[in-house]
Each structure stands twice: as structure tokens, then as C-alpha cells.
A = this chain, B = another copy of it.
Amino acid sequence: MKNYIKHDPWCIIEDGFYAEYNEITESLTSLGNGRMGQRGNFEEKFTGKTLLGNYVAGVFYPDKTRVGWWKNGYPRYFAKVLNACNWIGIDVQIDGETLDLGLCPVSEYSRVLNMKEGILERTFVASLSDGKQVRVHSQRFCSIVDDEAGAIRYAITLLNFDGKITLTPYLDGDISNKDSNYGEKFWDEIRKETAFGEAYLEMRTKDTPFKTELFNVCTGMKIDLTLNGEPVDFQSKPVKAEKFVACKVEIEAKAGEEVALYKYAVNLASLNHPTDRLLANAKAYVERIADKGFAQMKAEQIEAWAERWDKNDIVIEGDDAAQQGIRFNIFQLEQTYTGEDDRLNIGPKGFTGEKYGGSTYWDTEAYCLPFYLATADQKVARNLLIYRHKHLQKAIENAANLGFKDGAALYPMVTMTGEECHNEWEITFEEIHRNGAIAYAIYDYIRHTGDEGYLAEYGLEVLIGIARFWAQRVNWSSDKQKYVMLGVTGPNEYENNVNNNFYTNYLAVWCLRFTLEGIRSWKSEVSELLQKINFDFEVETAKWQHIIDNMHYPYDAQRQVYLQQDGFLDKELLTVDDITEHRPINQKWSWDRILRSCFIKQADVLQGLYFFEEDFDLDTIRRNFDFYEPMTVHESSLSPCVHVILAAMLGYKEKAYEMYLRTSRLDLDDYNNDTEDGLHITSMAGTWMSVIKGFAGMRIRNGVLSFAPYLPDQWQGYSFRITFKGQIIRVSVKPEAIEVENFSNLPVSFAVNENLVELEANGHRTLIITVKK
């Protein structure tokens, strides 16, 4: 854990330069707009610790799979998030001396990410040789209004001397991924151009044997210069090198004068433009934003962010650390995915790093969907569902590669295009519960939006593929006289290749039942589909029903808890308090030791109880929580949020608050010692859930939105907005009351602590409700 980021309700503040933590701060101050983004790297040269990162949504490289021993069924390639052209770079020389914070002493340093406005700002004073001092003030943003563009204002003031400032804003396409197998480069240069004050560089991803789509990205820039705020004439000298293009300008300045360079940049990808129009479109785009100008772009950015915050903010009173945490999570989610493009998804690191690769994990369905359901237009969540519908055929092929047949679908663990691109057998082939999360998301979407027709339109086709997979994946144990599911990895990846993981077995049966009910309800509407996919109603549904009725669930009758898997009780049952010095175990223990220990990476049985809460009584949930939580090391970012929700439900307020801080400040405080690789984007939606479903106890029961809020002792109040079936309400939880506002044109009904409440159109109501203690 680290604690150098200042607590502030709206800003991420590095006050003073923490060079050792620079890669962490770079992650924390990442910018993005759904189409492109980058880490909070410095514009000027920096020879200290840094991880340069610029990313373009949907652009990936299929790198050669790296394994020791090949196993049948492994995917051909691993889709890497591709580190792309660096468009923020500005080489700075003062009287011929390069400005480099790795070398110059620096003072009055601050780096501030203003989340309210979506702007990253840096100020510092650097000391050069001969006692020369310069002040730098940079501002940068990725525009959420012009979402293929970004802008930088980089201002230099010579403090105690007159001198010559040489500025070389550049575009550098000679970039490699940190995680390339052997340092290979993945980009070829296609063309470059530079003329007065403008530069363009078009790169294409290298060809591979894997025949996936190649991507062209054209990056362009235009620069401008002011002296004390006034435009100045300047000469720009074109610079060209391999995969590199720049404009060099020189200006003489007197002490106290401010020279400001404006850099307007765009990133146009062949995903969104005809390849042969990339350069022309980039030029037009650059022209347009440069004409608009930095001040106008910035004003629009602030206004657009204000609109977003108006919809999505969670306000927490009396606890800056908690407030900063939740806003940081919401801000980063908003930067990563806007939901406008159904080809995109929510990568685990967003635009903040390249670790893990791929873009789509089960995180999307299990953790992110609820956030978008409750805070965005319905089409955003729907696009996330349709993304999987589009990949159904690939999921069927994927299952066929593993020996399944007749339309059984196994969605990949990690994907960019629908093809599997992860290659550890215990994950790729065995962490199959992901399939269930995709089914659950359909259920979640329908109960939240009321869009029942989705089942007939898209949902059932996906559900049947998934159900067919489960029906083939189980086998009958003549020993147990039950169906069993052998050789799986559950959400707790600290167990591999186990038999009868409770969560997976339960989820599989749920999928079969949900699909069965769906088919029965929509039989006539989907008759054409059923014919198309050769659905044998009698045979298939009978098989499913038999599995539903006869699945084995490991259970300990003595403790009355579900067992994570068969044989769990053979382990030495310790608690995390027994291994304080050994944590995080994934950095200290060998894999076999982790596997045979009882320690749990993230909610597993508890993930099932969270998903299917209504199937279990509170005592059952409590017994399982009390048994498993003390063994849980929360070394997955997806772990704490589920525990907040369950702890809140069980009235474990201290545990809930502890877990809330852990999920909301996971990256800010670097809990798992890995923020330097990038942020944990998908779990940020879990943080949102931990407030809404945890402290506020939001549920949807029989189609009715309900709350059971309480106020953590550390807070004076909190409020949030929720979209539900097209209606929008704001809920404010205060020490002795709950206030609800209705922003819709229709009356809204919902339940609070199981009392049904009606609120008139555009209405405001204060409920005097004793909040749970």
C-alpha cells in the first residue's frame, strides 16, 4: 500500500515529484475518451522510470502464442493491446540543454488530474545548468467531444534568464510493447508528411500468419505558438526519421515571458475510416480542431464532463478518501468505454496499460454491466450484449475445437474478435464459468430495463448455445448418482482443475433453467430460430431438466456451508491472519503452494450467493460468508466489491467499509502492488456496485426497484442517480432520512426497506426511514 496521492474530492494530486512512483502516477493520471487514451506520461523527455503508453480502441496485434509445451486446443495467437504512436511528445531544449526531469532538479512540482473537467495539468520549476530556472505549466486532455482528438498546451517561462527555447513536438511511431515476447516491433510505417507546423504519420500493424485484421492508424498534429498569450510568427523545421516525424521551432524569450506551445493531435484508425481516406481525414480533423482552438476545446471538454457527472456522480459527504475513490472509479470507466460502438468492449486496463491483453473478459458481464445499466442509455448495455451475440458463431467454433458439438458455445476467456486468445490450459479450457456470466447478463439486462423482447430477438440464441455447452460438459457419476462437472477453474483462480466447483455447477444449472423458461415463454416467437439451429425440443429440454434435477453440489452438512469444490475440507483451514507476512501470496508463494492452500483469490462460492441471493436465506449466506471471507486474500481486483455487497447485507458494517476502501482506492493506494502496470478498470464498476448494491442495498425484486440503505459510520451522507426502466431518480441517504427525487415525466414506484413508495412525476420526497444500523 502507498499513500502519497493527496485526498481530494475531485482531483488526483501528486504534490511534489515522486520519481520512484512515477509509473504508478502515470497509471493514475491516464486520460481517455473511449476511442483513444494514454498514460499520464510527460510531454518532455524523461529518462527516469516510465512506462510510455498510447492506445487506440479496438487496435490490437495477434502475437505468437508463447508456451513451453503446446497443448491441443490452444489458440494460435494472443491478442495484445497495442502500444501505439506517441502523440504527446514535445522535446524541449533551453539554450541547447534538454529538459529532462530525470536529470534536472525540480521544485514546486505538481501533477493534477482534474476529474471534474477531464484535464491533466502539470506545473514545476526545473533547474538547468548555470543556475538557470524555468517554469513549465502543461495542460492536456483527450477530448470527449471530438473523440479522435487530444490537445496540449505546454507553457514555459524562463525565470531568471533570457534564452532560446527549442521545441520539437513530434509523433513517434517507433513503439514496442513492454510485453512483446522478444522485444519485437509490431508497427510498420506506411507514410509520413511534415510541412509548416503540421505532421502526419500513418502506421500499419505488421502482417502475421494469423490472418486477423490489420489496422492502419494515422496520427496527425498541428502546432501553434504564443508569447505571453499573443500569437507569434514562427518558423517550423520539418524533422523526419524512421517512424518519426516532428516540427522543430525556436523562439527567443526574456525572463518572465511565457512561451506556450499548442499541440492539436488526432488518431484516426481504419476501424472508423476508409484506409485510403485516413490521411485526408486526419488533415481535415486537425484543421477543424486547430481552428476551434485550445480554449474552446477545453471549454467544451469541461461542459461535456459536467453533463456526465450530472448523470453518474456519487456524492459522499464527510469522507474525502471515499469520495475521491468512487469518483476516480467512475471517471476511469467513463474514459474507457462510452457504449457507442458495439465492436468495442471494456479492456481490463482500458487505456492505462497493456498487461493482460485482449479486450473482453467475463468482467464485462459480471461487473461492468450493472454500472452501465444504471447510469447510461439502455443502448449501451444492449450493445454490450449484442457484442456477444455477434461472437456466437466464434464461440461455437471455439467449443468445437475442444470437442463439443451440435451448436454448443463456449465463449472465450479473453478475446478481441470473438476468438479465444488466452493460453493457459487451466484458464482457457477450464475457467468456463465465464459462459454463465454471459447468460446472467442477459437476465440482468432484462430485469433492469424491462426489455423482455430481447430474449426472442437475440438472447435465446446465445442462451441455447451456452445451455448446450453445459449439457455436454457435465457427466453422470455412477458413483454419486448425480451429474458432476469435472476439471474446472472457478472465479477463485487459486484453485485449478477442480471437480464440482459449487459456483460453476450452480451457474450451469441456472443457465439451463433460465434458457428452458425462456424457450417455453417465447416458443412461438423463436420457432424459426429453433429450426435454424436444429433444436430438438423434446430431447434437449428433457436432458436439461434431468441435469437441473440431479446436479451435485458439494456441501458440508456439519458446517452447513457449500463447499467451493469436492475435497475442499481436506485442506488445512487457516485464515488470512495466519499468513500476514506471506501476503500477497501470488508474489510470495509458488503456484503449487497457493493451489493446495485454502486461500481464496476472490469470491467464488460467495460470487454464487451474490448472483443468486434470492435462492438462499440470510443465515445460509451468513454461514458461507463467515466461513469463506476469512480465507480470502482479495488478490483479484474483482474480489472486494462482492464482499462489500454481502457484508452490507449481513450488517457487517466494518467489513463492508474496509472492503469499500479496498475496492475504491485499490489503485490510488496501490493495494496489490501492481498499479504501475495500469489501472484495474473492470473492477471499477464493482466499486460503483459496492455503493449502490452494498450500502444502498439496491435490488430488483419481481420487477420492482428496491433499496435498503444504510449510512457507513464514516460518512455524513451519500447520493447517486439511477436509471431504471427509462426513469431516472436520485437517492440521497442522510443520517436519519432518505431523500428521493424523480426526474421523469411519469410517477415512479419503488421499495425502501420493503415498503412500496410512489413518487409523482418530477417529484421530490424525503422519506423519514430509520436507516439500518
Footprint of B on A, CB under 8 Å?
65-69, 71-73, 78, 181-182, 401-403, 422-426, 429-430, 475-480, 484, 486-487, 496-497, 499-500, 566-567, 569-573, 586-593, 595-596
Contacts and interface: CB of A to CB of B under 8 A. Distances in A.
B588 A487 contact: no
B596 A72 contact: no
A475 B572 contact: yes
Contacts of A596: 475, 486-487
Best-buried of A66, A71, A181, A570 by chain B (most CB within 10 Å): A570
A479 B559 CA distance: 12
Q: Which 8 A-B pairs have the closest CB atoms?
A: A73-B590, A429-B592, A479-B569, A487-B596, A486-B596, A71-B591, A477-B570, A402-B590
29 contacts: A68-B423, A68-B424, A69-B424, A71-B590, A71-B591, A72-B586, A72-B587, A72-B588, A72-B590, A72-B591, A73-B590, A181-B181, A181-B182, A403-B589, A403-B593, A425-B591, A425-B592, A426-B497, A429-B592, A475-B572, A478-B573, A479-B570, A480-B570, A484-B570, A486-B567, A497-B497, A499-B567, A566-B567, A567-B567
A596 B402 CA distance: 12
Nearest to A482: B570
A592 B66 contact: no
Given A182-B181, A569-B479, A68 B71 contact: no
Given A66-B67, A567-B566, A476 B595 contact: no
Contacts of A73: 590-592
Contact of A67 (B67, B484, B589): B67
Best-buried of A430, A475, A591, A596 by chain B (most CB within 10 Å): A591
A420 B390 CA distance: 46
Contacts of A478: 569, 573
A693 to B, nearest CB: 31
B487 A595 contact: yes
B497 A595 contact: yes
Contacts of A402: 590, 592-593
Nearest to A556: B479
Given A67-B68, A423-B68, A424-B69, A429 B571 contact: no
A306 B66 CA distance: 48
B591 A429 contact: yes
Given A66-B66, A487-B592, A496 B499 contact: no
B571 A486 contact: yes
A558 to B, nearest CB: 9
A571 B403 contact: no
Given A401-B590, A403-B589, A476-B572, 20 more contacts: A65-B68, A66-B68, A68-B78, A68-B424, A72-B587, A72-B588, A73-B591, A403-B590, A403-B593, A429-B590, A429-B592, A475-B572, A475-B596, A477-B570, A477-B571, A480-B570, A487-B592, A496-B497, A566-B566, A566-B570
Contacts of A422: 68
Nearest to A487: B596
Nearest to A403: B593
A430 B569 CA distance: 20
Contacts of A571: 475, 477, 486
A499 B570 CA distance: 9
A182 to B, nearest CB: 6
Contacts of A71: 590-591
Nearest to A432: B592
Nearest to A484: B570
Nearest to A479: B569
A402 B595 CA distance: 12
A414 to B, nearest CB: 11
A352 B643 CA distance: 57
A69 to B, nearest CB: 6
Contacts of A591: 71-73, 425, 429
A479 B591 CA distance: 24
A487 to B, nearest CB: 4
A422 B570 CA distance: 29
A667 to B, nearest CB: 21
Nearest to A587: B72
Nearest to A572: B475
A78 B496 CA distance: 24
Contacts of A570: 475, 477, 479-480, 484, 486, 499-500, 566
A586 B69 CA distance: 12
Contacts of A181: 181-182
A426 to B, nearest CB: 8
Nearest to A475: B572
A590 B428 CA distance: 11
A601 to B, nearest CB: 14
Nearest to A402: B590
Contacts of A588: 72
A475 B78 CA distance: 38
Contacts of A72: 586-591
A67 to B, nearest CB: 6
Contacts of A430: 592
Contacts of A487: 592, 595-596
Contacts of A587: 72
A485 B72 CA distance: 29
A59 B65 CA distance: 29
Nearest to A72: B590
Nearest to A497: B497
A414 B410 CA distance: 35
Nearest to A425: B591
A379 to B, nearest CB: 36
A632 to B, nearest CB: 19
Nearest to A569: B479
Nearest to A485: B596
Contacts of A426: 497
Nearest to A499: B567
A676 to B, nearest CB: 16
Best-buried of A423, A426, A590 by chain B (most CB within 10 Å): A590
A760 to B, nearest CB: 56
A477 B569 contact: yes
A621 to B, nearest CB: 23
A574 B106 CA distance: 73
Nearest to A65: B68
A182 B567 CA distance: 42
A557 to B, nearest CB: 12
A591 B69 CA distance: 12
Best-buried of A479, A496, A500, A589 by chain B (most CB within 10 Å): A479
Nearest to A182: B182
Nearest to A498: B497
A509 to B, nearest CB: 17
Contacts of A477: 569-571
A570 B486 CA distance: 8
A494 to B, nearest CB: 11
Contacts of A486: 567, 570-571, 595-596
A506 B65 CA distance: 39
Nearest to A483: B570
Contacts of A592: 73, 402, 425, 429-430, 487
